[in-house]
A and B are shown apart, each in its own frame.
Chain A
Amino acid sequence: MPAVVGEHLTKLFGHGETQVIALQDVSLSVEAGELVALMGPSGSGKTTLLRALSLIDPPTAGCVTIAGEQVCADALTTVDDRRLRREKVGIIFQAYNLIPFLTAVENVALVLTLTGIPQRAALQRTRELLQSLDLDHRADTYPATLSGGEQQRLAVARAVINSPAVILADEPTASLDTERGKAVMNLLRQLGRERRAAVIVVTHDERMIEGFDRVFHMVDGRIVTTGAEVPEKEKTRSMPAGEG
């Protein structure tokens, strides 16, 4: 069963003559443990598709299925999109979007406490994850004191802490240099596989293409190349020794 499916997704902005079609009948399916990229020029609809899949900005038409739970545009009012996100979706932002008044460990543990896990257990689990990401020494500091790479690793930790079915990342490496960007991509790939999550990454950075299982190219709100597999040698080339 695919981890996430988008079927005939359409997104319209505005009305009448000013109406803009941001997504046109887009369909895609991503399996658990798969790392896929959404690429395309600015305004091609990549981020809009990501927002539609996460129901942050739901589609005007079409259906989204996450871990078997289907939500269609005509039944949005009956759906608790936030429950769906906190239980089944992890989201990574270009600008990290860490909560400034929470420490690093609290930023990540918050996601667990929102799902009802007691605070003490949530903090314990988070510290273990941060240790594996080599962030444990920064656990009790505020995000403002972390470097860009540390902040993005923390954002990744927040996205994966509750083992979501799908991880959506919007330009996660855009604010990072190549080295740090690749490290974050490798981390996403590693955690996605370990936790059997489908990882969908919006990127326009051709340098990062090597690590993806499939790449969807978008133009004018449509997927123009339907998830061509990236050659195996390019995938392995992107993985540092000892990983994947």
Chain B
Amino acid sequence: MNLAYRDVRYRLGRFLLTALGVGLLLGTVMAMGGIYRGLVEDALSLVRAPAADLWVVQKDTNGPFAETSRVPEDVFRAIETIPGVREASPIAFQSLQFRVGPTLFRAQLVGHRPGRLGGPAAVTAGRPMVRGRYEMLLDRKAGVPLGTQIRIGRLAFTVVGLSEGIVSSAGDPVAFVSLQDAQEIQFLKSNEAIRNERARLAAGLRANPALAAVSAEDLAPLLQDTHLANAILVRLEPWADRHAVAARIERWNHYRAMPTEEQEEILAKSVVERARQQILLFRIILLSVSTVVIAMVIFTMTLEKTRDIATLKIIGAPDRTIAGLILQEALALGLLGYGLGAVLIGVTYDYFPRRVAILPFDQYVLLGIVMIICVLASLFGIRRALRVSPTLALGGGA
């Protein structure tokens, strides 16, 4: 006869309320796990979107997601001559803000050569970029409709297409523009800055008799180089040896070539590691609180049953029956709380401002942890129950 089931049936309302409380706690634990997974997914979506095999970045740097990396745009042509390279293309990244009407948006700008590596895998609304200049593909998350005019610096863009699920590690939507547009946004100075620079240049030229005849107006545009990218994306032929190609690129001494997995790892470590640790710590605290709550609930339920437990001992119930009663109630509380938490997070995760990625593996692991917690939490109650003297049942009172 299952005593735990019957005790729960008898105190069903209170048990359900308690399970709801535990469920809210576990739902929060699940949400934190989902937020972390979402953080990683978001961060990696930008690295994974181009589906490149190698990232060529500035030597002695870890690439554009970890630090400043600048490579000449034209180096992609040299890379394309290496046997095994199917395609190479420069890419530039920049975080910026722009305004649409009264609303200020934050976005991750990605400059690439339209139709080549670096663009979104799919355009879910509108069309891909075809003109090459002043067009933008924006992630749907920004909530900006097709055809919207967006001004960034001195350039005006039209949103011609929408992508989906590609955001930065900060959760900002990605805006794809042409490489040339991205370079101008990043490197072209304002008119005032250009006038100041030319004035400084003219002063320098006047101070040098050998260059006195050179006009600052003519020289300044030549010194302004915008043909820089943050990395070169490389896609290899299926038969190519990735390490051999990377080694050959690195032999030029100016670049570092790393597989996409390494770039992902760097991104994960440099950008989301601290957030991961923070969320992990928070989850541990929440799980500890859950353990204490379950332990207290089970212990209180055991205390309330002290006289019944004494009676069970008098009528000959073995310790395993009494321990089973408490353990099964703890497990039932944990399971029900877990189920309610899962329903709660399943219903609400779409409303979170950032992506909440609930993975089955994480859920199974959490379920295992909850079961272990319940076993641990029940130990206090079991210990108490096994110490109850059967003579307690013989005292007065009903």
What residues make up the interface of A, taking CB atoms closer than 8 Å to B?
47, 51, 54, 56-57, 82-87, 89, 91, 93-97, 99-102, 106, 109-111, 113-115, 119, 122, 142, 158, 170
Contact A99 B314 (CB under 8 A): no
Beyond A56-B394, A96-B398, A111-B315, list 16 extra A-B contacts (CB 8 Å): A51-B394, A56-B314, A83-B316, A85-B315, A86-B315, A89-B316, A91-B314, A97-B307, A100-B10, A101-B10, A109-B1, A110-B3, A110-B317, A113-B1, A142-B10, A158-B315
Min CB distance, A121 to chain B, in Å? 12
Chain B: CB-nearest residue to A89: B316
**What is the CA–CA distance of A83 and B307 in the complex, to the nearest angstrom?**
20
Known: A82-B318, A101-B9, A114-B321. A119 touches B313 (CB 8 A): no
Contact A51 B315 (CB under 8 A): no
Selected contact of B1 from candidates A47, A91, A100, A106, CB within 8 Å = A106
Please tell me if B7 contacts chain A, counting CB pairs below 8 Å: yes
- Give chain A residues whose Cβ lies under 8 Å from the Cβ of B394: 47, 51, 56, 93, 170
Chain A: CB-nearest residue to B313: A82
Min CB distance, A139 to chain B, in Å? 15
**What is the CA–CA distance of A122 and B10 in the complex, to the nearest angstrom?**
21
Min CB distance, B3 to chain A, in Å? 8
Chain A: CB-nearest residue to B10: A101
Range of interface residues on chain B?
A: 20 to 34
Selected contact of A87 from candidates B3, B312, B316, B393, CB within 8 Å = B316
Min CB distance, B223 to chain A, in Å? 87
- Give chain B residues whose Cβ lies under 8 Å from the Cβ of A158: 315
Please tell me if B131 contacts chain A, counting CB pairs below 8 Å: no
Contact A101 B7 (CB under 8 A): yes
Chain B residues 329-373 with CB under 8 Å of chain A are none
Of B7, B321, B393, B398, most A-chain CB atoms within 10 Å: B398
Please tell me if B391 contacts chain A, counting CB pairs below 8 Å: yes
Chain A: CB-nearest residue to B325: A101
Contact B391 A51 (CB under 8 A): yes
- Give chain B residues whose Cβ lies under 8 Å from the Cβ of A47: 394
Chain B residues 224-259 with CB under 8 Å of chain A are none
Contact B317 A114 (CB under 8 A): yes
- Give chain B residues whose Cβ lies under 8 Å from the Cβ of A111: 315-316
Min CB distance, A159 to chain B, in Å? 9
Please tell me if B11 contacts chain A, counting CB pairs below 8 Å: yes
- Give chain B residues whose Cβ lies under 8 Å from the Cβ of A114: 315-318, 321
Contact B314 A85 (CB under 8 A): yes
Min CB distance, B310 to chain A, in Å? 8
Contact A99 B308 (CB under 8 A): yes
Contact B390 A95 (CB under 8 A): no
**What is the CA–CA distance of A127 and B10 in the complex, to the nearest angstrom?**
21
Min CB distance, A216 to chain B, in Å? 19
Please tell me if B195 contacts chain A, counting CB pairs below 8 Å: no
Known: A114-B321, A170-B394. A91 touches B315 (CB 8 A): yes
Contact A95 B1 (CB under 8 A): no
Chain A: CB-nearest residue to B9: A101
Contact A100 B315 (CB under 8 A): no
Please tell me if B127 contacts chain A, counting CB pairs below 8 Å: no
Chain A: CB-nearest residue to B398: A95
